[in-house]
Protein backbone atom coordinates (compact mmCIF):
# COMPACT_ATOMS: atom_id res chain seq x y z
CA UNK A 1 0.00 0.00 0.00
CA UNK A 2 1.41 3.37 -1.05
CA UNK A 3 1.52 5.84 1.88
CA UNK A 4 0.66 9.37 0.83
CA UNK A 5 0.87 12.75 2.55
CA UNK A 6 -1.00 15.62 0.88
CA UNK A 7 -0.18 19.31 1.40
CA UNK A 8 -2.80 21.98 0.67
CA UNK A 9 -3.40 25.71 1.12
CA UNK A 10 -7.03 26.19 0.10
CA UNK A 11 -10.37 24.53 -0.49
CA UNK A 12 -8.91 21.08 -1.03
CA UNK A 13 -11.11 19.82 -3.85
CA UNK A 14 -8.17 17.87 -5.28
CA UNK A 15 -7.52 16.46 -1.82
CA UNK A 16 -11.18 15.45 -1.62
CA UNK A 17 -10.90 13.56 -4.91
CA UNK A 18 -7.85 11.70 -3.59
CA UNK A 19 -9.58 10.89 -0.29
CA UNK A 20 -12.59 9.49 -2.14
CA UNK A 21 -10.50 7.43 -4.55
CA UNK A 22 -8.18 6.01 -1.90
CA UNK A 23 -11.09 5.08 0.38
CA UNK A 24 -11.32 1.97 -1.82
CA UNK A 25 -8.62 -0.44 -0.55
CA UNK A 26 -8.22 -1.79 -4.09
CA UNK A 27 -6.81 1.58 -5.15
CA UNK A 28 -3.55 0.64 -3.44
CA UNK A 29 -2.80 3.98 -1.76
CA UNK A 30 -3.74 5.45 1.58
CA UNK A 31 -3.60 9.08 2.67
CA UNK A 32 -1.80 9.01 6.00
CA UNK A 33 -1.97 12.74 6.75
CA UNK A 34 -2.82 16.14 5.31
CA UNK A 35 -0.75 19.22 6.04
CA UNK A 36 -1.30 22.91 5.33
CA UNK A 37 0.49 26.23 5.62
CA UNK A 38 -2.62 27.87 7.12
CA UNK A 39 -5.87 26.70 8.75
CA UNK A 40 -7.19 25.92 5.26
CA UNK A 41 -10.86 25.08 4.80
CA UNK A 42 -9.81 21.99 2.84
CA UNK A 43 -8.56 20.35 6.05
CA UNK A 44 -12.23 19.61 6.78
CA UNK A 45 -12.16 16.93 4.09
CA UNK A 46 -9.40 15.14 5.96
CA UNK A 47 -11.36 15.40 9.22
CA UNK A 48 -14.40 13.86 7.53
CA UNK A 49 -12.31 10.90 6.36
CA UNK A 50 -10.64 10.50 9.76
CA UNK A 51 -7.21 11.44 8.38
CA UNK A 52 -4.84 13.32 10.74
CA UNK A 53 -3.92 16.91 9.86
CA UNK A 54 -1.17 19.35 10.73
CA UNK A 55 -0.75 23.08 10.13
CA UNK A 56 2.69 24.67 9.96
CA UNK A 57 2.40 28.42 9.43
CA UNK A 58 5.37 30.45 8.20
CA UNK A 59 4.44 33.33 10.53
CA UNK A 60 5.39 31.15 13.51
CA UNK A 61 9.02 30.95 12.38
CA UNK A 62 11.95 33.34 12.10
CA UNK A 63 12.70 32.36 8.51
CA UNK A 64 11.53 30.21 5.63
CA UNK A 65 14.17 27.52 6.23
CA UNK A 66 13.01 26.93 9.82
CA UNK A 67 9.41 26.77 8.66
CA UNK A 68 10.24 24.25 5.94
CA UNK A 69 12.32 22.14 8.35
CA UNK A 70 9.35 21.80 10.68
CA UNK A 71 7.00 21.13 7.80
CA UNK A 72 9.35 18.40 6.55
CA UNK A 73 9.57 16.84 10.02
CA UNK A 74 5.77 16.70 10.17
CA UNK A 75 5.60 15.12 6.71
CA UNK A 76 8.33 12.57 7.45
CA UNK A 77 6.68 11.58 10.72
CA UNK A 78 4.10 9.76 8.55
CA UNK A 79 6.80 7.98 6.47
CA UNK A 80 5.18 8.68 3.10
CA UNK A 81 6.16 6.97 -0.12
CA UNK A 82 4.69 9.93 -1.99
CA UNK A 83 4.00 13.57 -1.08
CA UNK A 84 1.40 15.41 -3.15
CA UNK A 85 1.24 19.20 -3.36
CA UNK A 86 -2.45 19.67 -4.16
CA UNK A 87 -2.93 23.42 -4.29
CA UNK A 88 -0.07 24.09 -1.87
CA UNK A 89 0.69 27.72 -2.64
CA UNK A 90 4.20 28.15 -1.26
CA UNK A 91 7.57 27.61 -2.79
CA UNK A 92 9.56 25.03 -0.86
CA UNK A 93 13.30 25.52 -0.23
CA UNK A 94 15.84 23.20 -1.91
CA UNK A 95 16.47 21.19 1.29
CA UNK A 96 12.80 20.24 1.49
CA UNK A 97 12.68 19.28 -2.18
CA UNK A 98 15.93 17.29 -2.00
CA UNK A 99 14.64 15.25 0.94
CA UNK A 100 11.58 14.04 -0.96
CA UNK A 101 12.04 14.28 -4.71
CA UNK A 102 11.30 12.40 -6.97
CA UNK A 103 8.50 11.24 -4.67
CA UNK A 104 7.20 14.79 -4.42
CA UNK A 105 4.64 15.83 -7.03
CA UNK A 106 2.64 18.95 -7.75
CA UNK A 107 -0.49 19.71 -9.68
CA UNK A 108 -0.49 22.95 -11.67
CA UNK A 109 -3.40 24.53 -13.60
CA UNK A 110 -1.72 25.13 -16.96
CA UNK A 111 0.02 23.25 -19.72
CA UNK A 112 3.56 23.71 -18.46
CA UNK A 113 6.00 25.11 -19.45
CA UNK A 114 3.37 27.75 -20.25
CA UNK A 115 2.19 29.89 -17.36
CA UNK A 116 4.14 28.70 -14.32
CA UNK A 117 3.62 30.45 -10.98
CA UNK A 118 0.75 31.33 -8.69
CA UNK A 119 -1.57 32.94 -11.28
CA UNK A 120 -1.54 30.39 -14.08
CA UNK A 121 -5.20 30.73 -15.03
CA UNK A 122 -5.17 34.53 -14.94
CA UNK A 123 -1.96 34.59 -16.97
CA UNK A 124 -3.38 32.23 -19.61
CA UNK A 125 -6.44 34.46 -20.05
CA UNK A 126 -4.31 37.62 -20.15
CA UNK A 127 -2.15 36.08 -22.88
CA UNK A 128 -5.25 35.28 -24.94
CA UNK A 129 -4.56 31.54 -24.84
CA UNK A 130 -7.24 29.46 -26.55
CA UNK A 131 -6.17 26.28 -24.79
CA UNK A 132 -4.74 25.63 -21.38
CA UNK A 133 -5.05 22.73 -18.95
CA UNK A 134 -3.34 20.87 -16.14
CA UNK A 135 0.12 19.44 -15.58
CA UNK A 136 1.11 16.97 -12.89
CA UNK A 137 4.87 17.02 -12.43
CA UNK A 138 7.68 15.96 -10.14
CA UNK A 139 8.83 18.88 -8.01
CA UNK A 140 12.39 20.08 -8.49
CA UNK A 141 14.13 23.19 -7.20
CA UNK A 142 12.53 25.47 -9.78
CA UNK A 143 9.00 26.89 -9.84
CA UNK A 144 6.81 24.43 -11.78
CA UNK A 145 9.81 23.22 -13.79
CA UNK A 146 10.15 19.55 -12.76
CA UNK A 147 9.71 16.51 -15.03
CA UNK A 148 6.16 16.20 -16.30
CA UNK A 149 4.12 13.08 -15.51
CA UNK A 150 0.77 13.83 -17.18
CA UNK A 151 -1.03 16.68 -18.90
CA UNK A 152 -4.62 17.29 -19.94
CA UNK A 153 -5.89 20.06 -22.17
CA UNK A 154 -8.86 22.36 -21.51
CA UNK A 155 -10.14 24.73 -24.21
CA UNK A 156 -10.73 28.34 -23.13
CA UNK A 157 -14.30 29.45 -23.84
CA UNK A 158 -14.94 32.96 -25.18
CA UNK A 159 -15.77 35.48 -22.44
CA UNK A 160 -14.93 33.11 -19.63
CA UNK A 161 -13.80 34.58 -16.30
CA UNK A 162 -10.74 33.37 -14.40
CA UNK A 163 -12.96 31.70 -11.78
CA UNK A 164 -15.08 29.92 -14.40
CA UNK A 165 -12.07 28.65 -16.30
CA UNK A 166 -10.29 27.55 -13.12
CA UNK A 167 -13.38 25.58 -12.02
CA UNK A 168 -13.46 23.76 -15.38
CA UNK A 169 -9.74 23.08 -15.16
CA UNK A 170 -10.17 21.67 -11.67
CA UNK A 171 -12.76 19.16 -12.92
CA UNK A 172 -10.09 17.71 -15.21
CA UNK A 173 -7.32 18.20 -12.67
CA UNK A 174 -8.93 16.01 -10.00
CA UNK A 175 -9.20 13.02 -12.33
CA UNK A 176 -5.67 13.49 -13.63
CA UNK A 177 -4.22 13.68 -10.11
CA UNK A 178 -6.09 10.54 -9.06
CA UNK A 179 -4.71 8.77 -12.18
CA UNK A 180 -1.13 9.75 -11.37
CA UNK A 181 -1.39 8.61 -7.75
CA UNK A 182 -2.93 5.33 -8.96
CA UNK A 183 0.09 4.82 -11.20
CA UNK A 184 2.47 5.37 -8.27
CA UNK A 185 0.43 2.84 -6.27
CA UNK A 186 0.57 0.30 -9.08
CA UNK A 187 4.34 0.72 -9.44
CA UNK A 188 4.77 0.12 -5.74
CA UNK A 189 2.63 -3.02 -5.72
CA UNK A 190 4.48 -4.39 -8.77
CA UNK A 191 7.90 -4.05 -7.11
CA UNK A 192 9.30 -7.22 -5.48
CA UNK A 193 8.80 -7.15 -1.71
C1 LIG B 1 -5.64 23.83 -8.13
O2 LIG B 1 -6.09 24.24 -9.39
C3 LIG B 1 -4.13 23.79 -8.07
O4 LIG B 1 -3.54 23.33 -9.23
C5 LIG B 1 -3.83 25.24 -7.86
O6 LIG B 1 -4.77 25.64 -6.89
C7 LIG B 1 -5.95 24.87 -7.06
C8 LIG B 1 -6.28 24.24 -5.74
O9 LIG B 1 -7.61 23.79 -5.72
N10 LIG B 1 -2.47 25.48 -7.52
P11 LIG B 1 -8.18 22.93 -4.51
O12 LIG B 1 -7.70 23.58 -3.21
O13 LIG B 1 -7.68 21.53 -4.66
O14 LIG B 1 -9.67 23.02 -4.65
pLDDT > 70? residue 192: no
- The model scores a pTM over 0.75: yes
N residues, the chain: 193
Taking residues 45-50, what's their average pLDDT? 98
Greatest Cα pair distance in the chain: 53
Ligand 1 centroid from CA 11, angstroms? 8
Q: Could you report the per-residue pLDDT of 75-95, keeping only the tens digit for each?
A: 999 999 999 999 999 999 999
Taking residues 129-135, what's their average pLDDT? 98
| 188 confidence band (pLDDT: 50, 70, 90) | confident
**Site residues for ligand 1, CB cut-off 6 Å:** 8, 10-15, 42, 86-87, 107-109, 170, 173
User: What residues contact 49, with CB distance under 8 A and at least 6 apart?
Assistant: 19, 23, 31
Q: Which of 7, 13, 14 is the best mutation target for the ligand 1 pocket, counting ligand atoms within 8 Å of the beta carbon and taking the most?
A: 14
With contact defined as beta carbons under 8 Å apart, do 62 and 35 qualify? Answer: no
User: Which domains are delineated in the chain?
Assistant: 2-185 (3.40.50.170)
Residue 166 Cα: closest atom of ligand 1: 2
For residues 136 and 146, what is the distance between their CA atoms, to the nearest angstrom?
A: 9
Q: Could you report the per-residue pLDDT of 91-123, keeping only the tens digit for each?
A: 999 999 999 999 999 999 999 999 999 999 999
Taking residues 30-43, what's their average pLDDT? 98
Q: What pLDDT was estimated at residue 157?
A: 97
Q: What pLDDT was estimated at residue 193?
A: 54
Q: Could you report the per-residue pLDDT of 141-182, keeping only the tens digit for each?
A: 999 999 999 999 999 999 999 999 999 999 999 999 999 999
Ligand 1 centroid from CA 14, angstroms? 7
Q: pLDDT over 70 for what percent of the chain?
A: 98
Q: What pLDDT was estimated at residue 101?
A: 95
Q: Is 166 a catalytic residue?
A: no
Amino acid sequence: MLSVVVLISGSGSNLRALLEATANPLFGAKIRAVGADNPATGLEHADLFGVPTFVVEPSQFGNREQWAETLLANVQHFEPDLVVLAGFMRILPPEFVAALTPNLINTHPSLLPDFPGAHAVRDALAAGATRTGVTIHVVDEGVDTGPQLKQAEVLVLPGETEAQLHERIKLVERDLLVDVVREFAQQKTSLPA
